[in-house]
Amino acid sequence: MHSRNLRKERIGIVKSDKMQKSVSVSIQRKEMHPMYGKFVKKTSTFVAHDDKNECKIGDTVKIMETRPLSKTKKWRVVEILERAK
């Protein structure tokens, strides 16, 4: 039997839920500027598969890497950690 490779997991905030069964998730990190040494906020956006259309804008979700589901969709929503207020 094959053992599955470890898949990347990220925690981010839902920025868009206008697509059917898909959400756009924004992940923010801080990186040090190479010359000035100041920490700069960098943002990455991922399109994730949301099978039950449960996610709403502002929710904090955990996403996991998966096989390509479409041209841009290579992640899926594992769980909703916190609902938007």
Report the CATH number at residue 75.
2.40.50.140
- 60 within some domain: yes
Helix (H, G, I), strand (E, B) or coil at 46: strand
- 25 within some domain: yes
Left, alpha or beta for 68 (phi > 0: left; psi -120 to 50: alpha)? beta
Note the pLDDT of residue 2. Answer: 74
Q: How far apart are CA 68 and CA 83, in angstroms?
A: 27
pTM: 0.87
- 43 within some domain: yes
Report pLDDT digits (tens) over 7-62: 999 999 999 999 999 999 999 999 999 999 999 999 999 999 999 999 999 999 99
55 contacts 63 by C-beta, under 8 angstroms: no
- 31 within some domain: yes
Tokens 């059917």: give the residue: 20
Residue 85 has pLDDT above 90, yes or no: no
Number of domains present in the structure of the chain = 1
- 48 within some domain: yes
Which one-letter DSSP state was computed for residue 36?
T
Domain that holds residue 39: 9-82
